Amino acid sequence: MTDCYLGIDIGSISTKGVIIDDENNIICSSYIETNANPIRAIKNLLKNLKNDFDTTKYHIKNVGTTGSARKLIATMIGAGTVKNEITAHAMGTLSFFPDVRTIIEIGGQDSKIIIIENGVVVDYGMNTLCAAGTGAFLSSQAKRLNLDVKDFGDIALKSNNPAKIAARCTVFAESDLVHKAASGYTTEDIVAGLVQSVASNYLNNVGKGKKIVAPIIFQGGVSKNKGVQRAFEKILGQDIIVSENGHLMGAIGIAIIARKENKDCHFSFDILNNNFATYTKECAKCPNNCEIVCITKNNDLIDSWGNKCENGLI
């Protein structure tokens, strides 16, 4: 059987998974919504991957996890590799675009910028405190306008007079959107204003003080929005490259890292038959009062974390 490697990127909004071979070719992939339940999301993701995976031909040698719930999921499925999102996105992007200098990544609820020189990450920035300018922000505005967010890009490109939307805060943006609509701006102009505000908000916050140099790769779920891509190009005065698999790049990157580490984590799709659950408890054994997160497999405790000292070990 041929060895292959599974990479999982689990975020607050979406969960991505890819299986690659030794040449970094994607054997199968899946992209689903997390829906505030990472354990259920992982089970659904693995079911999707299993349906497209030939278990008689391939053997998953190692699994890597990244994203906000990477530790939880690594414990659940027995992953051998766990890395942060910056490392995973950089590795994935460099594998396909070795000359990349700047990575712009905008996901469902956070965004990041990665600066690279000679194939090495030299600087980065993240915005995880406010959803303004992210995929969740665009989705909420689409619902307000009674539109499908997937159509935002095409609609924005039809505008000749984009409305100026104050998008540095979600609350202000929604108020401004209502005002612009009442003032007579067309839907196309409002949508164009929204996507331009996403680009400018990103550059004024996440990208502030960063030296943005081409080649520039735009990835994450929002990279599929042609309007946001065009807005970045207009502001920066440079071409923006959008990868076909940009929405999967974190999962691809962690899969590649798992391959390079050459571990054998003994992963099996049989974990789909197990029941996993989490619960929290307060340690109360010292003034830290740590909140301990525990995960069980078939009602048996298999791991816990969150303690700041040995008193909280379970």
Residue 178 maps to which CATH number? 3.30.420.40
Low-confidence residues in the chain, pLDDT < 70: 128-133, 167-171, 312-314
pLDDT of residue 88: 95
pLDDT of residue 128: 58
Looking at the structure, tell me whether residues 224 and 120 fall in a common domain: yes
Q: Is 202 left (phi over 0), alpha (psi -120 to 50) or beta?
A: alpha
Looking at the structure, tell me whether residues 146 and 256 fall in a common domain: no
Looking at the structure, tell me whether residues 70 and 11 fall in a common domain: yes
210-223 pLDDT per residue, tens: 999 999 999 988 88
pLDDT of residue 144: 80
Looking at the structure, tell me whether residues 44 and 68 fall in a common domain: yes
pLDDT of residue 171: 64
Give the count of domains, the chain.
3
From CA 255, how far away is CA 250, in angstroms rounded?
9
Domain range for 291 is 277-312
Looking at the structure, tell me whether residues 263 and 281 fall in a common domain: no
Is residue 215 reached through a cis peptide bond, with omega within 30 degrees of 0 on the bond before it?
yes
Looking at the structure, tell me whether residues 214 and 151 fall in a common domain: yes
Looking at the structure, tell me whether residues 37 and 164 fall in a common domain: no
Looking at the structure, tell me whether residues 206 and 289 fall in a common domain: no
Looking at the structure, tell me whether residues 108 and 210 fall in a common domain: yes
107-150 pLDDT per residue, tens: 877 889 999 999 999 999 987 556 556 777 787 788 888 888 88
284-295 pLDDT per residue, tens: 888 888 888 888
What is the DSSP secondary-structure string of 149-190?
GGGHHHHHTT-SS------SSHHHHHHHHHHHHHTT--HHHH
